[in-house]
Chains A and B, each alone.
Chain A
């Protein structure tokens, strides 16, 4: 089950899980495990971001058959995606669309930069994007 995490400078801002077509029943354990994998990849993200100027960092970490993809916005907000596939171009365009949705959110005067994302319409937009990719 792919999982997206958006991390600010101090805390995680947003988290979403996407059910794939062949969704296996989600158990409590794996949900926590996924979070754990993503959070533990944070160091790898910082490391990977130092060696490149690109926003898209490709695969930064692996856990069993799961890959952690990362993307850093111009404002230093990090997007992390946990996904079984290894198609980097697909994830690149996924991140690009998430980035667009994020920029739209940032343009809302009532949203403050680097704070948890509560917006329902942002969530809907992300879910809609994910449905097209996974």
Chain B
């Protein structure tokens, strides 16, 4: 499917998705992050926790995504990235994302999120190493894991830290092989 077709598909599904109030969403996420910071008391742990939470969201979300979008298998990773950017982000967050800076092997790219709805109103306290929207990385990792793609996903640039755009780096590590669990294997 071509890039513009994906964009159109994303737009179409976005129309059909149930919506919630943006402020409610932003404030709920904000309250959760602040509560995590209070509970864990270490920013690094908070980053990891957000990623983990995202991961379990992603594992569930992929089914909803595939069911509602009707997207079939992607042939190559470039297509996967485009589907995430144009369809998935549009469908769940209502924003469109750009795919940029591919490496030569076509295994890693950047997702440029110009308008991140999670960070409305947010201002980070000075000198803090928090990746506020790290949950997004987890969601992507979790969702791709369910379709046999092991990826690494992390923030490179964050508008909350003064960068001009949010950049999420997406790196394909391996294709997970479908294997039978130990107990079913023949000797």
Contact = CB atoms under 8 A, between A and B. Distances in A.
A109 B23 contact: no
B123 interface: yes
A26 interface: no
B40 interface: no
Interface in A44-100: none
Interface in B97-146: 120-125
Contacts of B34: 109-110
- Interface size bucket, A side? under 10
Contacts of A109: 27, 30-31, 33-34, 121-122
Interface in B12-60: 23, 26-27, 30-31, 33-34
Q: Which of A107, A108, A110 has the most CB of B within 10 A?
A: A110
Interface residues of B, number: 13
Nearest to B120: A107
Interface in A108-131: 108-111, 119, 121
B173 to A, nearest CB: 33
A110 B27 contact: no
A110 B23 contact: no
Contacts of B121: 104, 107-109
A22 B121 CA distance: 35
A60 B134 CA distance: 49
Contacts of B123: 108, 110-111, 119, 121
A72 B172 CA distance: 55
A114 to B, nearest CB: 16
Contact of A107 (B27, B33, B124, B125): B27
A12 B23 CA distance: 28
Nearest to B30: A109
Contacts of B30: 108-110
A43 B120 CA distance: 37
Contacts of B33: 109
Interface of A: 104, 107-111, 119, 121
5 contacts: A107-B23, A107-B26, A109-B121, A109-B122, A110-B34
